[in-house]
Amino acid sequence: MTPPIDARALGKRFRREWGLRDCTVTIPEGAVVGLAGPNAAGKSTLLSLAAGLLAPSEGSIEVLGRNPLREPSVLAEVGYVAQGAPLYRSFTVAETIEFARRTNSCWDEALLADVPTRIAPRTKVGALSAGERARLALALALCKRPRLVLLDEPFAGLDPLAGREFLQLLMDGVAETAATVVIASHVIADIERVCDHIVLLTGGGVRLEGNVEELLESYRILIGPRRPLGSIRGVRSIVRERHSGRQLTLLVRTDGPIVDPSWTVEPVGLEELLLAYMAPERMPESAPPERLPLRWHG
Amino acid sequence: MIEFHLDPRSGVATYLQIVQQVKEALRLGTISVGDQLPTVREVVADLAINPNTVAKAYRDLEREGLVIARQGRGTFVASTLAPAAASLRHYKGLRVELERWLEAAGNVGLDEESIRALISATLRETLARRVA
C-alpha cells in the first residue's frame, strides 16, 4: 500500500533560510493527522510541497505514490485548502460551486452536505463570514472525493462554534470518503479532538511523530518530593523537569511501569506533551532539532 | 437510542469514553439486546470526532461480544451487562440508601468535589482489598 505522503530527507530553502530541513516522515493511510508546531516551524512549507506548489531543494516527496511536480495528475486526488481559505471574493457562492464543478474531473455534489442550504447561494464570497468561507472551501475540496485532504491552519479566525461546524463537515466527509487528512495547526486544542496521528515540526524538522494513543501511552507525568535525579526504573528519558518548592514534576518517556511508590504517576495530555517538545530550550539553533538527543537517565 | 457525550478534560481516550458509555447504558438497562447503536456517521456528525475513533470503539465492543455489526445495517446490542433481575430488585433500595448518605454528607458541609473524592477513594480502596 502506498502511503498518502512519503517524505525522504525533504528540504526546502527560501533564499538563505531553510523552511524545512531533513524531513523524513510517512503519513499512514486513513489517518487524521495533526501537523503541529509553532509558527514558522515548516508546516505550510510541507503542505505546499505535498500539494505540488513548491519544488523541494533537497530530498524527495511522494504523494499517493507519485511525484506531485512530475505527475501533477495526482493532484486531482488531493484536496488542498490554503491558509485563509482563499476563494474569488467577487464570485457568488453559486458561481464558486459551479466553477469548482467545471474545473474538477471528479465531482460528487453530495459532499457539499448542508453548505448550500446554510449559505445563501447568491451571497458574494467576499461577504461571507470566516466560518462560512472556511466551510465552503472545505466542501469544494471534499466534492473531488480526494484520497488526501491537506488543510493549512483552517481554524485561524474561526470562533469556537464555527470551528466545531468546520470539524463536523470535515469528519462527515472523512466518514464518507475514507480520505487521509493532514491538518496543520499551531493550536493543539483545535485538532486534539479529531487527530489520531501527530507530526510535530519545530525549526523546520520533525521533532515527534506517531500514533496519538501510543504516544500518550508511553509518556507519564511523575510528581514527587525534590531529590537528586539518578535513573528511575521504567523511565527511558526525561523530557521536562520542573521544580516548585520541594516538589519535582517530571514529564518522562517510559519503557515499563513506574514501580517506585514515592512517585505519583499521572497520564499526560496531548497538548502538554507537544508543548514540552516545543519548548525552546530543547532546540538550540546550532543543531538540527530533530537529531537533538533527549537527556538520558539510566 | 443512546447519545454519546465527550469530556475532553477527563484524560480518557475518546474511543474509551464511547466504550464506557455503551457499557454503562447496558448496565443500567437503558439499552438492551437488539437495540441499534447510532451509526458512525451519526456519532461523527454529532460530536465532530474522527470516524476511525467511533469504529475503533465499536470494534472493541464487538470483540467483547457486546454488540454485533450487521453489514450495511448498523451495529446492534448483542448481549447485556445488566445484573440479573434478582439483583436489579435491590437497585432501588441501594439508591435510597445512597441518597440518604449523600444528604448526610451535605449536612456536614461536604461539597460536590469532596463527595466525589471520598466516593472514588473509598471505592478504589474497597475494590483493592477485595482483590488482595
Tens of pLDDT, residue by residue over A1-32, are 799 999 999 999 999 899 999 999 999 999 99
d(CA B54, CA B44): 8
Q: Which of A33, A46, A82, A42 is nearest to A192 (CA)?
A: A33
CA distance B96 to A75: 64
The answer to whether residue A295 scores a pLDDT higher than 50 is no
Kindly tell me if the per-residue pLDDT of B29 is higher than 90. Answer: no
Mean pLDDT of B60-79: 93
What pLDDT digit, counting tens, does each position of A197-232 carry? Answer: 999 999 888 999 999 999 999 999 999 998 888 889
Q: How far is A175 from chain B (nearest CA, A)?
A: 6
Q: What is the pLDDT of residue A292?
A: 35
pLDDT band at B132 (very low <50, low <70, confident <90, very high): low
Say which of B6, B11, B51 has its CB closest to residue A171: B51
What average pLDDT does range A275-286 have in this prediction?
64
Q: Residue A285 pLDDT more than 50?
A: no
CB atoms within 10 A of CB A207: 20
Q: Which of A171, A187, A212, A214 to mutate to test binding with chain B, by most B CBs within 10 Å of its CB?
A: A171
d(CA B6, CA B48): 10
- Work out the average pLDDT over A264-291: 70
**Residues in chain A within 8 Å Cβ distance of B49:** 171, 193-194
Tell me what the mean pLDDT of segment A159-186 comes to.
Answer: 95
State pLDDT tens for residues A137-167: 999 999 999 999 999 999 999 999 999 999 9
Cα nearest neighbour of A214 on chain B: B13
| Structural domain spans, chain B | 14-77, 85-131
A interface test, pick of B4, B10, B50, B54 with most A CB neighbours within 10 Å: B50
Query: Is the ipTM above a cut-off of 0.90?
Result: no
Query: Whole-angstrom Cα distance, residue B113 to residue B119?
Result: 10
| Sequence-distant (≥ 6) Cβ neighbours of residue A4 within 8 angstroms | A27, A28, A29, A63, A64, A147, A148, A180
pLDDT of B88 > 80? The answer is no
At residue B109, the pLDDT reads 93
Q: Please tell me the predicted confidence (pLDDT) of residue B16.
A: 93
- Provide the pLDDT confidence category of residue B19 given band limits of 50, 70 and 90: very high
Q: How far B5 CA sits from the closest chain A CA (Å)?
A: 13
| Per-residue model confidence (pLDDT) at position A280 | 59
Query: Among partner residues B8, B11, B48, which is closest to A167 by beta-carbon distance?
Result: B48
The pLDDT of B68-89, averaged and rounded, is 82
What pLDDT is stored for residue A297 in this prediction?
37
Q: Do B52 and A213 touch (CB under 8 A)?
A: no
**According to the model, what pLDDT value does residue A283 have?**
41
Q: Sorting pLDDT into bands at 50, 70 and 90, what band is A287?
A: very low
Q: Do B11 and A269 touch (CB under 8 A)?
A: yes
State whether residue B122 is helix, strand or coil: helix
Instruction: Among A55-69, A284-298, B93-107, name the one with the lowest average pLDDT.
Output: A284-298
What is the DSSP track for chain A? ---SEEEEEEEEEETTEEEEEEEEEEEPTT-EEEEE-STTSSHHHHHHHHTTSS--SEEEEEETTB-TTT-GGGGGGEEEE-TT----TTSBHHHHHHHHHHH-SS--GGGGTTHHHHS-TTSBGGGS-HHHHHHHHHHHHHHT--SEEEEESTTTT--HHHHHHHHHHHHHHHHHH--EEEEEES-HHHHHTT-SEEEEEETTEEEEEEEHHHHHHHEEEEEEE-------TTEEEEEEEEEETTEEEEEEEESS----TTSEEEE--HHHHHHHHH-GGG--TTS-GGGPPPEE--
B11 vs A contacts (CB less than 8 Å): 267, 269
pLDDT of residue B84: 66
Q: How much of chain A is in helix, strand and coil states, percent to nearest 5?
A: 30, 30, 35
* Chain B residue closest in CA terms to A29: B52
* Cβ proximity of A186 and B52 under 8 Å: no
Nearest CA in chain B to A175: B51
Q: Which residue of A has its CA nearest to B47?
A: A168
* Residue B82: pLDDT over 90: no
Q: Which residues of B touch A195 (CB under 8 A)?
A: 50
Report the pLDDT averaged over residues A50-78: 95
CATH topology of domain B14-77: Arc Repressor Mutant, subunit A (1.10.10)
Interchain pair A196, B49: CB under 8 A: no
Nearest to B44 among A164, A171, A269 (CB): A171
